[in-house]
Every structure is written in C-alpha cells, then in structure tokens.
Amino acid sequence: MDSDQAKNRILDLSLQINQHNYSYYVLSNPTISDYDFDILLEELIKLENQFPEFLNSNSPSQRVGGEITKEFKQIKHKYSMLSLGNTYSSEELKDFDERIKKIIGETPFEYVCELKFDGLSIGLTYIEGKLSHAVTRGDGVFGDDVTTNVKTIRSIPLILKEGNYPPEFEIRGEIFMPHKSFEKLNLERNSNGELPFANPRNAASGSLKMQDSKEVSKRGLDCFLYYLLGENLPFSSHYENLRNTKNWGFKVSDFMIKCKNIEGVIEYINDWNLQRNELPFDIDGIVIKVDSIPLQEKLGYTAKNPRWAIAYKFKAESVSTKLLSIDFQVGRTGSITPVANLEPVLLSGSMVKRASLHNADIIKKIDVRIGDMVFVEKGGEIIPKITGVDLALRENNAPEVIYIENCPECGTKLTRIEGEANHYCPNDNTCPPQIKGKIEHFISRKAMNIDSLGEGKVEIIFDCGKLNNIADLYDLKYEDLFGIEKSFIAEDTGKERIMRFMEKTVENILKGIEASKSVSFEKVLFALGIRYVGETVAKKLAQSFKNIDSIINASLEDLIGTEEIGIKIAESVKNYFSNPESISLINRLKEKGLRFEITEEENTTVSNKFEGLSFVVSGVFEKYSRDQIKKMVEENSGKNVAAISAKTSYLIAGDNMGPEKKKKAEKLNIPIISETEFLALLNE
C-alpha cells in the first residue's frame, strides 16, 4: 500500500469507527459486532504505526489510551465554572420562581428540567469541530487539563459531525461511571487485592485523574452534556441548543423536558424521586434552568451561582435494619469513631453493612443499643450514618452502650479534649492505626505525592514490619520490598488471594520515595500531620519562619503572632515539637535530604513596594487567577488577608465578588480597586 492509499484508508476507517462509536455509545443502537469493530480498529492502529505522518490527535485509535500524564497542567476557564444553589423543598422552589418574576416582570418564560448526574463536571472546548481540550471544574476559574484521559471516553466525540456549530465553543457536562462499569471495576479490584471504591462518583473522579490513559480507557466512563456556551449559538433557547447538539454527535439526556411553570417543575421532581433508583447510573437531584438565554443574561449571577438556575437535591433515602454490634476505629490523629455493624440492607442501590455513629454524644443523643432496629441514611457520605432508632421494636431491658475507655488497638487510656466531641488515643507514636494513617497522609497527593505507594501498599509494608514511622520510608531498599506479600479473602468469591510485590512495583515505589525529596518545605510541613496544621496553615508557618528550626524554637507568642494562627493551632504546633520523638523524626528526615527550609528561589521578593499593606482579593479576574494575584502581593512584600477589617489597605475586586465584602469595604472606606488598577499600582 502506498502513501496515498494509506491516507485514504485511514480516513475511511476513522469515519467508520467514529460512526460505530456514535451508534453504540450515544444512540445505544450498535450496527456492528464487537469482533468486527475490533478488526477495524486493529487495522487503523496498524496503518497509523506504518504511516505515522497520518496519525492525528483526534484519531479514534487514541481512545485506547497509552499516554502517561505525570502532572495535570492548569487551564483558565474562558467562562467561569460556577456551582448551583441548592434547595430541598417545593417552598424554596416557589421562592426561586418568585425571585425570577420579580426581576423580569411580566415577561413570559419556561423552565428546563434536567437530571442532576452524580459525577464530576467537565468543560469541553471544540475548535473547528475538533476537541481542543477538556478541563475539570477546579476552583471555577482554573481547572486541570484532562484531555488525554477524556479522549478515552467513547461517548465524547473527538471530531463533530457536520452541523451549524460555531467555529469555537464550549460544552459542559458530567462524567460518571454507570452502575455496570462500577460493579465490574470493584469485582476486579477485590480479585486483585485492592480496596473497592465506595461509590460510582468516587470511582469516576479517581479514574479521570489517573496518570495512565490506557488504564482510564478500561474504566467504562460515560458523559452526558448539559450546557452550551459561546458566541453565535444557533438558538436563543437553552433547550433547543442542547437538542441541536445531538446532531453534532453529543450525548444529551433524553430525560430533559420543558415546563411552563413551577408547578410542572415540582411534578417532574416528584416523578423522578420515585423512579431514580431504576436508572443505570446515579442522580442526586434535578437541575432547573430558565430556558431563554437572553433572560439568563438579564438575571445574571451572584458571587457564586447563576440566578437563573437552581438544583433540587433529593432527600437522603432512609432504610431500617438491625444493629448487630459496634466497632471503634482509630484514625491517624488518634480520633475514635464508633462504627455500627448492621444486618445487610439495600440502600440507594448498594448493600450496606456498616454505618457511622460519629461519637459518644451522638450515641447518647439517639440512645442506640445493640439489637435495635435503626434508621440508616446515605446522604452523600461514603459511610452511611444512623439517624434514629425504632423504639417500638426495642427488646426489653436492652442495655445502654458503654463507650470504651481504652484504645481498641493499643490499650492506651482515651482522652477527650474539652469542647470537642471525639475521644482520642494519645499514643500517637506506637498505636498501629495512627502510624499507618500518618504514613498514608504523608504520601498523599497534597503532601509528599508518593502516588506509587497508594491503594493499600502502605498497610502491606507496615504489616510486614518494614515501617514504623514516616522516616522509615527513606530507609527502604529493594530487598526489603521485593517478594513481600499479603493474603486476604476476596469478597466476591470468598477464596484466599495473595498480593505480592514484584520488580516493577518495587522500582516504582523506590522512585516515588526518592522523587519526594524535592517537595517544597510547606508541603513537607503539611505532610508531618501535625493536628490542625492543614495546607494553608503550613504555608503561613513556612513563609513566616522560613525553616523548621525557627518553628521548633518559636515561642507560643511567636506562633500566635503569625497571620491566621490562633491559640489552638499554636498550642498544637508547640506540643508537637516539644516531643523528643518528633525532633528525632525531623532529624532523620533532614539526614535523608528532605527540604526543611524555603529555598532562595522561593524566598525571593521582587520588591518592597507593598510592605506594610494588606490586601483582600475577591471575585473572578480576567488576566490572572486569585492565587496568582495573591502571589504578586506576597512577592512585593504585601500581606494577603481573608476578611475585611479597618486595617485592610485595599480590596482587589473581580467579577462576581461577594456583595457583603463590597458593602463592608465601602462602610470602612477601604479603597476598592480593579485588577487593572492593581497592576497599575504594582507597576508604578
């Protein structure tokens, strides 16, 4: 086959495969057998390998994945990706309706009702009919570029059919995992000795952020599109625009309807409240939108939400079952959580065997006892919760639950801090669940980001006696890990399985540990897992004290004098570094090469222009994100503060800024400046 023949055949195969994908994944009407489809795809891949000059990024062959993404770059949304206001009652829906009528007067309008899919939001940008990039919601201004992974979702078109679409537009939707894919995935994870996902939403979210797109392609993700944005859209009706996008190749839900009034909306909601469990995917409510785009523009936005749309959230489903026993679990901070063991019961599409009882106060408040028939709700939580007891069915003389006094893992006497609901095990250095929890926190993405150690591997290494604290990670050698294994009983088969560390697994773990030595000081500080020291507090401490020794030697007054550090946090930091074992741990980590000071590059200030000035940054900006503007403030010796007070020097105001902040700034005569004015101030 010569070059021209190959080019034509590749084009022909691409058109055929795209049409078959559309028929199967969008229309649910396959026109070819799986075997015949695979033959076509294999031929395409083979030809593209032989003639790589004809391979393009939107070829259907790219849906099988294979590209590795080590870090998802941030992309600014062209249109801010705001969230929706929530409501749980028909009365609040009627209030929403009245607010709209008050703004638009007598202008007639209709609502569009759509299912609220329980997944994660995605923004897809198309240029000249081809998928350009796919971006997650992120903070609404910036999101993660997940284009490579999104291309593996076969219901999302890479190249559009012929149509009247604009040269450039964005379409938003929800990526989700159907029940069938979720069940298959968890069976595989159980068979492989991996922890199953708690629910389809978590599974979809975790899948979309995987580094290997080939693995993403195996997860069976799907996507419904629900919102078209851009200039020169075909219709002035949201409903008609969405229906029209079906002709371009997009998958739009057939359950979307128009309603002439709020009564029709409430009727639609009531129907789906009864039918939702029959769907092959999860929904958690109904989205209601004003149909007319000109009216949407007139209604506008608050600081966080569009005024022309609202989400009705279904109340959590509740079931009754028997409480068999109560276990007490120990978290990484030593916090004790009572967990109820239940007679298995079907709740929101999955079998529930355990539910949270939160703390001693909740147990006492609902007066739950072993053997009670209890009411259980999911309410969006990973672990369902017990909300009440059917007292009419309580057995006579059922004894009260006596809350434990000693740690169930290490036997240490529990403590309870005044003003807090939870009991704690104070043995944070040798209590096994606390050690494992601290290590798991240490390796997490927002801390040391050792992703090769995830999915239960820490527990296996710990149980083999190779880890006793976070510093031990840096002593691990190939021979410590190769061949270690753990047996477990697979839930799906009831048979014994073995998970074993082989060569590639061990190499990846050791590479990840070595790479973590370059993580910044503020993340290392966060990774230590000091109680109350989250990401923001760790950053403030790192910026204020510059190195770990200064924090260790700081007085309580020094710590409290740090911006946003109160007495509770300061005491926790002081207590942590007063412990000789903590200092020994820090010294070991120093010896291993971890970064315990801000580098010269990180510590560089551009100027002292804003010295003594404090700024509140609020809203959405055109040229820079909020974080970028805050960084400019800090680089020029200014201080970022969260709330407006009489000491605030400037309020930098973007679009959709909260009205209360503006009102308070005006009341206190704080100068309110735009992004352009801030940049001018910076460049003076």
Q: What are the φ/ψ torsions at residue 306 (nearest 5 degrees)?
A: -70, 140
Task: Pick the catalytic residue from 76, 116, 592, 647.
Answer: 116
Token reading at 212: 């290997």
Chain position carrying tokens 């021209």? 4
- Give yes or no: 116 in active site: yes
CB 527 within 8 A of CB 441: yes
CB 376 within 8 A of CB 347: yes
Q: How far is CA 123 from CA 170, 282, 579, in A?
A: 7, 20, 48
Q: Kindly tell me the number of DSSP H helices and DSSP E strands found in the chain.
A: 25, 22
630 half-sphere exposure, CB direction, 13 A CA radius: 12
Per the rule left: phi > 0, alpha: psi between -120 and 50, beta: everything else, 147 is alpha
- Judged on CB neighbours under 10 Å (0-12, 13-18, 19+), 1 is exposed
- Rounded to the nearest 10°, the torsion over CA 60, 64, 67, 68 is 150
Q: Is 114 helix (H, G, I), strand (E, B) or coil?
A: strand
CB 131 within 8 A of CB 147: yes
CA–CA gap between residue 330 and residue 422 (Å, rounded):
11
Token reading at 440: 């798991």
Per the rule left: phi > 0, alpha: psi between -120 and 50, beta: everything else, 284 is alpha
Q: In 10 A of CB 660, how many CB atoms? A: 10
Active site (catalytic) residues: 116
